[in-house]
Structure 1
Amino acid sequence: MTHNPAIIWDVDGTLVDTAEQHFRAWAKFAAEIGHPFTRADFAATFGMRNPEIIRKLFFPDAADPRCQELGARKEDLYRASVREEGTQLLPGVGRLLSEFAAAGYSQAVGSSAPPGNLELLLGLTDTRRYFAAVVSGDDVRRGKPDPEVFLTAAAKLGADPLRCVVFEDAVAGVEAAKAGAMGCVAVTFVGHHSAEKLRAAGADLVVASLEEVTVAQIAALVGGAGTVN
């Protein structure tokens, strides 16, 4: 196992922000099946895997194949929107990816998103080269706040979870990181969750933008220094 810190990135809200494309895709999907879909519904389910969202909001008893079919339709709508509008890295992300790579830190993606979405987003932002592993929602059975996605990413990197630092923007993601015994940096830039809620979930460092984060801070997080101020 590597001694250097290993970095695991959430994608939506952390690397990029395509929340509006997700909202519009869910709204179109809901209209197609004759169900309402509100901003409150979106906020209550943001970061969940599609089967969980579909059962929570639309069809509580839907079997896995039905969830897969419905989720695929929603993701088709989402990817079409992203291809049309494009996306870009959030502030500070490009620098951190480069600096972590230069420092010899292995990096992975740990996301609830389907693999097709991740392939599209990493391609549009030209960041796939930074990641030794990409773990999607299809690679795990349990979504965040269960730590499975991050533990799977750590295993693929050959990294001790205690030396991993997760970058997240959502309460469920922070909870997943801490359940996996990992360090966690939470960013409030896209505004889905308040700094207070992210701290309460266990984030070791909460920032308004990843422009504030340094490699030295991340090294300190896994060096036994505890919470970083």
Structure 2
Amino acid sequence: MKGFGAPSDTGSPTAKACIFDVDGVLLASPHERAWREALHGFADPSRFTTALYQAQVAGKSRLDGARAALTALGLPEPAGLAAGYAAAKQGCLDRIIAAEGVAAFPDALRFVRTLTACGWPMAAASASKNAEGMMRRVLLDERRTLLDAFAVKVCGRDLRHGKPDPEIFLIAASELRVEPARCIVFEDAPAGVRAARAGRMMAIGIARLDDAEGLRAAGADRVVTSLDELRIDELTRQQPSGAAA
């Protein structure tokens, strides 16, 4: 297995669980592109940068993301425009997926397969209502889709609080029946890293967009550019910063 391996000792991998954000961690989904294209009629789409997406939109619900983006772009009365922008974004996303499909990151598929073989309980946790449908389009092997790998799916639910509040990750931990302190969260957005740390979980930042510093500043315990950099036995021993040994 490229870049990481199964445990080198006999420690119990079921002592911890993994919780994955979906967009940007597991899937190379076209959310950022859809948000940008949907700005036609609201603002200049070229102003919607990757940095703005990561800082203001990633990890948030559709309506909250729309409101945050319009506010960051300085549009007047963003709250009144947010629903229309969010609907336009969903229309763009649907068209892109219908025409081009959805791709998973190869390192993510390798990592999920290895965790499955080692018996780690896993949850997918995303604010996106599109997450489960997109994962269902990706084959993990000949018999299963990527969605089938996750015992728990906390995707697109109506939550009281969005990231950086830890609610979504605490629900995932509860449904996995694993203490939050024994959960490892994989995130590509600073808001998601802050949510994991607020829930007293270990946070691993996935810096696929040359944004490692932002993830470290948010409190990630470790930052990698690929899940191939991680070894399962290392995860078994690590604890969140500040956690008791």
Calculate the TM-score normalised by the size of structure 2.
0.77
Match of 1:42 in 2: 53
Match of 2:38 in 1: 29
- The 10-residue stretch of structure 1 (98-107 or 86-95) with the greater mean CA deviation from structure 2: 86-95
Once the 2 structures are TM-superposed, how far is the Cα of residue 219 of structure 1 from its aligned partner? 0.7
Match of 1:178 in 2: 197
After TM superposition, list the pairs within 5 Å mapping 1:37-116 onto structure 2: 37=45, 38-40=47-49, 41-47=52-58, 48-56=60-68, 57=70, 59-62=77-80, 67=83, 70-114=85-129
Correspondence 1:201 to 2:218: yes
Distance 1:182 1:89, change over 3 A: same
In the alignment, residue 236 of structure 2 is paired with which amino acid?
A
Structure 2 CA distance for aligned equivalents of residues 186 and 224 of structure 1 = 14
Does the CA-based 8 Å contact 2:27-2:103 persist in structure 1?
A: yes
Secondary structure of the residue aligned to 2:194 is: helix
Correspondence 1:17 to 2:28: yes
Match of 1:130 in 2: 149
- The 10-residue stretch of structure 1 (176-185 or 76-85) with the greater mean CA deviation from structure 2: 76-85
Correspondence 1:121 to 2:129: no
Once the 2 structures are TM-superposed, how far is the Cα of residue 224 of structure 1 from its aligned partner? 9.4
Distance 1:105 1:131, change over 3 A: same
Match of 1:220 in 2: 237
Calculate the TM-score normalised by the size of structure 1.
0.82
Distance 1:5 1:225, change over 3 A: farther
Distance 1:216 1:24, change over 3 A: same
Structure 1 CA distance for aligned equivalents of residues 183 and 217 of structure 2 = 20
Identity percentage over the alignment?
34
Number of corresponding residues: 215
Secondary structure of the residue aligned to 1:61 is: helix
Does the CA-based 8 Å contact 2:181-2:240 persist in structure 1?
A: no
Once the 2 structures are TM-superposed, how far is the Cα of residue 124 of structure 1 from its aligned partner? 1.8
Distance 1:222 1:139, change over 3 A: farther
Match of 2:15 in 1: 4
Distance 1:51 1:217, change over 3 A: same
In the alignment, residue 43 of structure 2 is paired with which amino acid?
H
- The 10-residue stretch of structure 1 (137-146 or 154-163) with the greater mean CA deviation from structure 2: 137-146
Match of 1:155 in 2: 174
Does the CA-based 8 Å contact 1:167-1:184 persist in structure 2?
A: yes
Correspondence 1:188 to 2:201: no
In the alignment, residue 168 of structure 1 is paired with which amino acid?
E
Structure 1 CA distance for aligned equivalents of residues 88 and 214 of structure 2 = 32
Gaps of 5+ in 2: 1-12, 139-144
Secondary structure of the residue aligned to 1:108 is: strand
- The 10-residue stretch of structure 1 (120-129 or 165-174) with the greater mean CA deviation from structure 2: 120-129
Gaps of 5+ in 1: none
In the alignment, residue 134 of structure 2 is paired with which amino acid?
L
